[in-house]
Amino acid sequence: MSADITRRDVLTTAVRGTVLAVMGGGAGFLVKKANGQIVWQVDAARCVNSRLGETGVAACSLCTTECVVPLSAVRAVNEYAKCGRCNICPAYFDVTSPVDQHGYPSVKLCPRDAILRHPIGKLDPEDPANNFYEYLIDETKCDGCGKCVMQCKDPLGLGSITLRVRYDKCVNCNRCAISTACPQSAVVQLPAGHAV
């Protein structure tokens, strides 16, 4: 290895130094305005399924079909504090279906049979219609089709079920495929603290 410094070495070192400086400047600029992690979430105020005034239409299933994850990262989530615990839940039963001999609608609304219904609280042994029922959503079966969300709002329900992005399944794409497809731009990016 030659002990003399060639012109080429000087030039290379100089350019390398310049590039380092530029990179440092860029990195510093980016770090200064850095934010925390941002994630995608469904804005219930804009989502067609949750918005008031849209009942009786087919539920929007874009969250199911557009997500790049095979079983969509969006799920229906029931806020238990807001749930009515009704005997005949419009999200559990398909209230347009004919009634069976027990007085309940014969068809369940969820095409994946993902909602589990069981009585809670002080049980009335004689009259099952008198009890409260809890509705749990099995997230392994739910695929976010939104049918239950569409039914659970005024005038039939209390709006406790909404579609939400589940972060253990969401891969946090740079551009959410659902957000590209959503006609209401209801899938938005929020800081992780707000979104959960």
Smallest separation, CB 120 to another protein (Å): 5
Listed residue (59, 57, 38) closest to 143, CA to CA: 59
Residues numbered 87-106 forming contacts with another protein, rule: CB under 8 A: 87-88, 90, 95-99, 103, 105-106
Residues numbered 10-29 forming contacts with another protein, rule: CB under 8 A: 12, 15-16, 19-20, 23, 26-27, 29
What are the strands, taking DSSP E only, across the chain?
Answer: 38-42, 74-78, 115-120, 132-137, 161-165, 187-191
Non-local (6+) Cβ contacts of 167 within 8 A are: 39, 73, 196
Give the ranges where the chain is alpha helix by DSSP (H).
7-32, 62-66, 147-151, 177-181, 192-195
171: contact with another protein by CB under 8 A: yes
Could you tell me if 67 and 142 are in contact, meaning their C-beta atoms sit under 8 angstroms apart? no
Nearer residue to another protein within complex by CB, 47 or 73: 73
Site size toward another protein (CB under 8 A) is 81
125: contact with another protein by CB under 8 A: no
Residues numbered 54-83 forming contacts with another protein, rule: CB under 8 A: 56, 68-71, 77-83
Smallest separation, CB 82 to another protein (Å): 5
144: contact with another protein by CB under 8 A: no
